[in-house]
Amino acid sequence: MEFPVQTANPAKIETACLVVPVFKDGDLLPAATKLDDASERLIGQLIERGDFDARLGNVQLIPFAPGLNADRLMLVGLGARETCQEGAFRKAVDAAFGALASLPADDAAVAFNDVPVPDRACDWKARMVAEAAHRAIYRFNDFKSEPAPVPRLERVTLLVSEGGDSSAAREGSRIGDGIGQGINATRTLGNLPGNVCTPSYLAERAEQMAADSEGALTTEILDEAALEELGAHSLLSVGRGSVEPSRLIVMKYQGADDPDEAPHMLVGKGITFDSGGISLKPGDGMDEMKFDMCGAASVFGAVTSVLAIRPRVNLVAIVASAENMPDGRATKPGDIIKTLKGLSVEVLNTDAEGRLVLCDALTYAERFEPASVVDIATLTGAAIIALGHHATGLMSNDDDLALDLLDAGETAWDRAWHMPLWDEYQEQLDSNFADLANIGGRPAGTITAGCFLSRFTDKYPWAHLDIAGTAWHSGKQKGATGRPVSLLTQYLLDRASDSQVQVGED
Ligand code: BES
Ligand code: MN
Ligand code: ZN
* Number of the ligand closest to the Cα of 286: 1
Query: Residue ranges of the chain with pLDDT lower than 50?
Result: 499-502, 504-506
Protein residues placing their CB within 5 Å of the ion ligand 2: 274, 351, 353
Q: Are residues 152 and 249 in the same domain?
A: no
Q: For residues 330 and 310, what is the distance between their CA atoms, to the nearest angstrom?
A: 42
The protein residue with its alpha carbon nearest to ligand 1, atom 17, reads 352
Give the end of a domain, one of 131, 161, 191: 161
Whether 177 is in a domain gets the answer no
pLDDT at res. 498 = 64
Residue 504 resides in a domain: no
Q: Is residue 267 located within the same domain as residue 382?
A: yes
Are 207 and 125 part of one and the same domain?
no
What is the domain count for the chain?
A: 2
Phi/psi of residue 145, nearest 5 degrees: -65, -35
**CA neighbor of 234 nearest in space, from 329, 319, 320, 326:** 320
pLDDT of residue 400: 98
Is 167 inside a domain boundary? no
Any domain includes 134: yes
pTM here is: 0.97
Q: Do 260 and 391 reside in the same domain of the chain?
A: yes
Report how far ligand 1's centroid is from the alpha carbon of 105 (Å): 43
Helix (H) / strand (E) element for 170: namely: helix 166-191
Q: Which residues sit with their C-beta closer than 6 Å to ligand 1?
A: 274, 292, 349, 351-354, 378-382, 439, 445, 468
175 located within any domain: no
User: Do residues 155 and 203 share a domain?
Assistant: no
Q: 436 and 308: one domain?
A: yes
Sort 155 into a burial class: Cβ within 10 Å, 0-12 / 13-18 / 19+: middle
Name the residue range of residue 20's domain.
Answer: 5-161
Catalytic sites, residue numbers: 281, 355
In this structure, the answer to whether residues 83 and 211 fall within a common structural domain is no
Give the model's pLDDT for residue 219.
98
Together in a domain, 300 and 403: yes
**CATH code for position 393:** 3.40.630.10
- Cα 377 to middle of ligand 1, angstroms: 10
152 and 236 share one domain: no
**Rounded (5°) CA angle 316-321-327:** 165
Task: Give me the CATH number covering residue 31.
Answer: 3.40.220.10
CA 434, CA 474: separation in Å to the nearest integer? 37
CA of 351 to the centre of ligand 1 (A): 7
Mutate to test the pocket of ligand 1, among 280, 323, 351 (most ligand atoms within 8 A of CB): 351
State whether 350 and 310 are in the same domain: yes
Determine the pLDDT at residue 161. 87
Query: Quick check: is 171 in a domain?
Result: no
Domain-embedded: residue 322:
yes
- Cα separation of the two ends of the chain: 27
